[in-house]
Amino acid sequence: MKTSRPPGLRRLAKPRPDRLPPRLEPTTLWDFPSRNYGGGVQGDGAWPGATPAQVIWNLLRRYTRPGDLVVDPMAGGGTTLDVARELGRRALGYDLAPRRPDVFRADARKLPLESGKAGFVFVDPPYSNHLRYSGDPGCLGRLDAAGGEYYPAMEAALDEIRRILAPGRHLGLYVSDSFAKGKGFQPLGFELFSRLRQRFDPVDIVAVARHNRVLERGDYRRAAEEGGFFLRGFNYLFIFRRGAERRRPDGGRRPRAGRRGGSGPCGK
C-alpha cells in the first residue's frame, strides 16, 4: 500500500558517508564507503591509489598518542599527514614523486631520518605495477611481482622502516593482491606478510572492503564473470610491532620478544 507523507514533512536526506565522523572499528573487518570523513578532505583523492583516510585514523587512534611522530615513506597525496595532524600527531611524509610541499622527495629505501625516531609508520606501497605513479626509475610501481623484481625492492623498504621505527612501536601496511590478464594471480598480501614477519612481531590482520566503483563501468563485471577471475574485493591491513630491545650488561643491544596481548588502544 502506498503511504503518503503528511503535508509539510520533508523527506530526511540520507547522511552522506563522507560527512559522518570517523568511528573506532571494533573488529577486523572494516568497510568505508567513502575515502574522507567528517565533512573534511584528508589527502588528495585524485592521487592514484589514495588511501581511505579512516584506515589511517583508526590506526593512529589505537597505536599513537598526541605528539608522536607518524612517518609515511610513500606518502603520495598526503592522506597520512592530514589525518595525523588533525589528531595532534606530528607527521613526516616522503615520496619519490611529491605533489605537495610538505612531502619530501626521498626513496623509501633510503630515508633521511635518524634511526628509531618514528612513533608509528604507515605505508600503502604500490601493489606491484598495477598503477602508474611517476616516471621515476626508482618507483616501485614500475616493478613486476611476477618478474621477481618487486619483492627485493619491498624488502629494502621494510628494512628501512625497521630502522626508523622506535622499538616497541607499531606499523601498518595496506596492500591488496593483484590479478592481471596474462600474468594471473599475484599473492602480494601473503608474500609481504611473510617478509614483514621476518622483521617485526605480528599484531593483527584486518580486511578492508573495497568499493569497486569501476565494477558497474564498461566491461569489468562481464569480464570477471566470463573470464573466470575475481576483481579484488578487499585490501589487507597488516599491523606489526617492532620488537623492543634491552641493553645488555656489556652495553650492546639484544632483541627482546615483543610484549604479547598489549596492543589495545593507547591514544586519544
Ligand X SMILES: C[S@@+](CC[C@H](N)C(=O)[O-])C[C@H]1O[C@@H](n2cnc3c(N)ncnc32)[C@H](O)[C@@H]1O
Contact between 84 and ligand X (CB under 6 A)? no
**Hey, which residues between 46 and 75 contact ligand X (CB under 6 A)?**
47, 49-51, 73-75
Contact between 22 and ligand X (CB under 6 A)? no
Query: Shortest distance, CB of residue 46 to ligand X, whole angstroms?
Result: 9
Q: Do 164 and 118 contact (CB within 8 A), yes or no?
A: yes
**Hey, which residues between 118 and 177 contact ligand X (CB under 6 A)?**
124-126, 133-134, 138-141
Closer to ligand X at the Cβ: 78 or 258?
78
| Edge-to-edge strand ranges of the sheet holding 165-175 | 29-31, 201-209, 234-241, 165-175, 118-123, 69-72, 90-95, 103-105
Q: Which residue minimizes CB distance to ligand X?
A: 76
**CA–CA distances in Å: residue 258 to residues 84, 199, 241:** 25, 12, 8
Closer to ligand X at the Cβ: 77 or 189?
77
Closer to ligand X at the Cβ: 25 or 124?
124
| Count of chain residues binding ligand X (CB under 6 A) | 28
Contact between 34 and ligand X (CB under 6 A)? no
Cα distance between residue 138 and residue 157, in whole Å: 12
Q: What is the 8-class DSSP label of residue 246? A: E
Contact between 208 and ligand X (CB under 6 A)? no
Q: Do 154 and 139 contact (CB within 8 A), yes or no?
A: no
Q: What's the maximum distance between 2 C-alpha atoms anywhere in the chain? A: 83
What 3-state class would DSSP assign to 139? Answer: coil
Q: Do 47 and 99 contact (CB within 8 A), yes or no?
A: yes
Contact between 82 and ligand X (CB under 6 A)? no
Query: Shortest distance, CB of residue 72 to ligand X, whole angstroms?
Result: 6
Contact between 96 and ligand X (CB under 6 A)? yes
For ligand X, the binding residues (CB under 6 A) are 43, 47, 49-51, 73-77, 79-80, 94-97, 107-109, 124-126, 133-134, 138-141
